Amino acid sequence: MLKFLCLSTLKHNSAYYEATEWLFEQFPSYQFLGSKAFKPTLTNSKKISKFLNSPEKSLNLIHIAGSNGKGSTCSMLASVLTEAGYKVGLFTSPHIKDYTERIRINGVEIPKSYVTNFVERIKTGHFDFTPSFFEITFGLALDYFKAESCDICIIETGLGGKFDATNIINPIISVITNISLEHTVMLGDTIELIAKEKAGIIKSKTPVVLGEMKNDAKKIFASVAIKLESKIIESDKFRHYLKQFELPLLGEYQAENLMTTLACLAELNQLNFKSNDIVIQKGLNNISKNTGFFGRIQVISEHPKIIYDVSHNIEGISASLKTIIETNTGRLHVIFGTSADKDLHSSLKLFPLNSNMYFTEFTNSRSTKNEDFKREVKLVNFSSKKYFTNPKQALKSAKDCASRTDTIIIIGSFFLISDFL
């Protein structure tokens, strides 16, 4: 009997592996191709939805966009609503260890068998276009959430807003967390241009929650919301509620994300999705269990302290470093890897010059290569710098050099953290 179960599991896992490999190989994926995978159109998403009988039309959805904080806000909201007793779908990206991390209900990942069967279904679609990996994955999420009769679903955008594949939905609330310069090739090279793109998720007569952001961006969102007759809820109005909660996540920026979450929960109360202070605190305490939340200034061991952080743009890295430097009692060792389409020059200037720097490539093909690191590092006078092609070798080197009171931070990309898991 045990032998049969082992063979059955092996066959099941093999089918799942083949399905996900087909997804990555058959369709362009931003996770591997970067900006080449971005398509400024919603036509494909609409056709996929139609093939799936438009599952989004029967779901209560919250749509969340932003440059930083959207993942944390998604997870806080989903965790609180889970503790409130609702069946909560959560769609996020990218994944770190396994594709199924992107789609969860009350923290439980989508079954691999569902992914496998969905891929077989989608192959019968005979579309007159080549959909992207993300478009197909979002279709899978909607299909699964509908099949499981979710009460409410939290949807994180991939890139941008107006032309993001997720923007075919009509949510009950839209949320925009924060705006910074990111993906400038696709979204524009100024805060204003990026804000105009993200403002595309604001829908007519639908409440929109605005997180902490620069006034230039806020003015653009407010202008769009007013034209669409959409109620504006500013998260800053909820600052005084922060003292009522203990936030188990490190980083001052998480307080901003909590304000955005509280603003959204207050509006949800008006829409009969009820929560209270006790439920909110339980949601914060159980965020990892309820959502798989991971990798935001996450301390994985002590003496020396080792921290995972998936921050990958200037504002995100800067915010994480601020918290880490304030709590560090010894030397700072930085294992840094980043995607080739990021602003490497500006990123390097964020790290203290007395840091021990360990630059590393990671296995994803979008990784910055060591020759590029070396070219840029010449312009920054770090006291110590080493280069690696394997992140685990970089960590071993850092451990060998670190004392018990030092801090080792692994930062710069989801893909870098993925190599450790």
Q: For 232-264, write each residue's pLDDT tens digit.
A: 999 999 999 999 999 988 888 899 999 999 999
The answer to whether residues 65 and 157 touch, using CB atoms and an 8 Å cutoff, is: yes
pLDDT in tens, 70-89: 999 999 999 999 999 999 99
Q: Is the pLDDT of residue 326 over 90?
A: no
**pLDDT of the residue at 232:** 97
Q: How confident is the model at residue 3 (pLDDT cuts 50, 70, 90)?
A: very low
**pLDDT of the residue at 9:** 42
End-to-end CA distance of the chain: 32
Q: What angle do CA 164, 79, 321 make, to 5 degrees?
A: 70
Higher pLDDT, 380 or 103: 103
**pLDDT of the residue at 181:** 54
pLDDT in tens, 363-401: 988 899 999 999 999 889 898 999 999 999 999 999 999
The answer to whether residues 411 and 316 touch, using CB atoms and an 8 Å cutoff, is: no
Q: Is the pLDDT of residue 312 over 50?
A: yes
Q: Is the pLDDT of residue 184 over 70?
A: no
**pLDDT of the residue at 26:** 61
Tell me the C-alpha distance between 114 and 144, whole Å.
8
Residue with tokens 């959204």: 264
The answer to whether residues 152 and 24 touch, using CB atoms and an 8 Å cutoff, is: no
Nearby residues of 175 by Cβ (< 8 Å), 6 or more positions away: 62, 63, 64, 65, 66, 70, 73, 208, 209, 211, 260, 264
Tell me the C-alpha distance between 87 and 273, whole Å.
11
**pLDDT of the residue at 329:** 86
pLDDT in tens, 8-50: 443 457 899 999 988 887 655 555 555 554 556 799 999 999 9
pLDDT in tens, 109-120: 999 999 999 999
Q: Is the pLDDT of residue 328 over 90?
A: no
What residues pair up with 356 in beta bridges, in sequence order?
333, 384
**pLDDT of the residue at 368:** 94
CATH architecture assigned to 10-291: 3-Layer(aba) Sandwich (3.40)
Find the mean pLDDT for residues 209-226. 92
Tell me the C-alpha distance between 281 and 152, whole Å.
20
The SS3 of residue 256 is helix
Residue with tokens 């990942």: 109
Q: Which two tokens stand for residue 106?
A: 């009350």
**pLDDT of the residue at 8:** 41
- CB contact burial 199-223 (16+ within 10 A = b; e otherwise): bbbbbeebbbbbbbbeeebbebbbe
Q: How confident is the model at residue 188 (pLDDT cuts 50, 70, 90)?
A: very low
pLDDT in tens, 125-182: 888 888 888 999 999 999 999 999 999 999 999 877 899 999 999 999 999 998 765 5
**pLDDT of the residue at 52:** 97
Look at residues 278, 229, 215 and name the one whose alpha carbon lies nearest to residue 85.
278
**pLDDT of the residue at 211:** 94
**pLDDT of the residue at 327:** 84
Q: Which two tokens stand for residue 72?
A: 């944390």
Find the mean pLDDT for residues 299-327. 89
Find the mean pLDDT for residues 325-335. 92
Tell me the C-alpha distance between 371 and 252, whole Å.
35
A 10 A CB-CB count for 123 gives 11
Average pLDDT, the chain: 89
Phi and psi at residue 209, to the nearest 5°: -95, 130
Strand 208-210, strand 232-234: pairing: parallel
**pLDDT of the residue at 12:** 53
Distances (CA, A) of 312 to 70, 257, 260, 340, 370: 13, 17, 21, 11, 18
Strand 356-360, strand 384-388: pairing: parallel
pTM to 2 decimals? Answer: 0.84
Residue with tokens 């594949």: 165
Cis-peptide, bond into residue 94, ω within 30° of zero = yes
Q: Is the pLDDT of residue 53 over 70?
A: yes
Tell me the C-alpha distance between 179 and 341, whole Å.
18
- Domain(s) of CATH 3.40.1190.10: residues in the chain: 10-291
- Domain(s) of CATH 3.90.190.20: residues in the chain: 298-420
The answer to whether residues 188 and 161 touch, using CB atoms and an 8 Å cutoff, is: no
**Is it true that domain 298-420 has CATH number 3.90.190.20?**
yes
Find the mean pLDDT for residues 219-223. 94
DSSP 158-223: SS-STT-TTTT---SEEEE----S-SHHHH-SSHHHHHHHHGGG--TT--EEE-S--HHHHHHHHH
Q: How confident is the model at residue 201 (pLDDT cuts 50, 70, 90)?
A: very high
